[in-house]
Amino acid sequence: MRRFLEPSPAVLYLPYIAHGQQPEMEYVMRESTARAFMFTGIGISTMVIRILVILALVPIVLVISGIPGRAAEPIDVHCLVYLDENEDGQHQPQEPGLPGVRVTNGVDVLSTDAMGSVDLQVDPDDYRFVTMTISSGYWPTDAWYHRLDSTTSRADTVRFGLRPAPELSGNSFRWIHIADTQINSLMYYPLAADIQAMNRLELPPVFIVNTGDIVNDGHVRAEWEYYLDQMSVSEIPVFNVVGNHDDDSNELSLALYEEYVGPPYYSFDIGDWHFITFNTWRRYIHTPSQAEWLDRDAAQAPPGSRLVVFEHFSLRYGFPEVLQQFVDLGIQAVFSGHHHFINLSTHPAGIGDYSMVWPRGGGRDWTPRSYSLVSCHEDGSIDFEIKRLLIDHRTILTSPASEDATCGPEVPILVQAYDSAAAPVDLTAHMYDPSGIPLEVVPLSREGISLWRGAFSTDGWPTGEYRIEVHGNFDGVITESCG
């Protein structure tokens, strides 16, 4: 009888049964507190008093929340984009301006002149920022957007520093797509641990994009602070997108979104790829000029750019007018979240429609907790690897099983090996005879996401108890063996 010892008790795939999963979600359109209050069935005198109280409170609420007053005047802004030679985030007089860098006020897309300067006028009803489109081959040494004080119409000045980043000039690179982190007030989700796994990737992705529902309750300041605290471990730049939960119940969510993660729409370039973040929700986050901006932003992208959009809703469930605009502009692909399942398809309109499961719990489609490692290629194609989260160097010999008895001309070897960040490589199986003498080593071949396969010929083997070891490593960094 031939018996084989199972090398490790580790389990490869944790079949997450939708930990933290929510039932089909209802998006209840709540009215503002003030409106609900005014329409209660109360006596006329009481109503008058309460309305007066509400009116008295409005300016206070607007000031506290930082929401642009509807009567706010446009703000004149002088903007300088410069080469930050010493990369200190400060503009020194000898540091030259950079011409041809696009800057927006949320409607117009203007380019800096030969001195790196551009003047804009920002209407807070449209947009509360001056935002730079990060140019290919450069990276900001400080901020790429400037939030204006919309409680005043005083003129403002902003300086954006850029440093050369040749690693961001090519057309082939990887980036990470996550969606619906949806931090709630219980704050149990250890997002930082997931981000640490992404930090460990052998070939660093150039950015992470979170396509919305960053928090569960956009008006709750503590959720935003928890999110930023967890994301602070990221060694990879992070871009954010507006989701319906971020913009959830009142105008305070506008102020908090913009305070914590910046403008509701913007763009950036890497190589020939032009990435556009787009606010498809637009309930309280006022972006009335976004469609106009999108036309201008796309038109001024470098000639030949491949256009990719990040938004919260999948194209399949989005707004028809938005879809038509994307078609007209030649958008190649849209990455989204919201639905809590993985969708990798092409929309009938010809646009790639890619939606990710939420990483906090399993998906509605029973997908385990995952993120997407996306590759943009030189030829303009895009592909993905869906990576399971929090799986740390798991390896298991699944066949032959421990205590198994087998016979025949060969013994097939099946190994499952997986890690959230690293790729297992160079797996070999080592067979020892009943007296512990090494018999043979066979290389294993990878099949699919995690399965490795090989076989030993049993020709001339005596009956007895045999032992198998599997050796390999993860991205050539940490050597693993089991036996």
For binding to Fe ion (CB under 5 A), which residues are involved?
213, 243-244, 338
- Chain centroid, CA 15 distance in Å: 23
Q: For the beta carbon of residue 344, count every other beta carbon within 10 angstroms.
A: 14
Backbone angles phi, psi at 56, to 5 degrees: -65, -30
Question: Which residue, 243 or 359, is less far from Fe ion as judged by CB?
Answer: 243
In the complex, minimum distance from the CB of residue 318 to Fe ion, in angstroms, rounded to a whole number: 12
157 Cβ contact list (under 8 Å, min separation 6) = 77, 78, 79, 80
37 Cβ contact list (under 8 Å, min separation 6) = 50, 54
CB 318 within 8 A of CB 173: no
Question: Which residue, 215 or 351, is less far from Fe ion as judged by CB?
Answer: 215
Question: Which residue, 160 or 310, is less far from Fe ion as judged by CB?
Answer: 310
In the complex, minimum distance from the CB of residue 222 to Fe ion, in angstroms, rounded to a whole number: 20
Question: Which residue, 310 or 418, is less far from Fe ion as judged by CB?
Answer: 310
Question: Which residue, 213 or 419, is less far from Fe ion as judged by CB?
Answer: 213
> Any idea how long the chain is?
483
The span from the CA of 286 to the CA of 125, in Å, is 7
In the complex, minimum distance from the CB of residue 217 to Fe ion, in angstroms, rounded to a whole number: 12
Question: Which residue, 106 or 212, is less far from Fe ion as judged by CB?
Answer: 212
In the complex, minimum distance from the CB of residue 106 to Fe ion, in angstroms, rounded to a whole number: 23
In the complex, minimum distance from the CB of residue 141 to Fe ion, in angstroms, rounded to a whole number: 34
In the complex, minimum distance from the CB of residue 244 to Fe ion, in angstroms, rounded to a whole number: 5
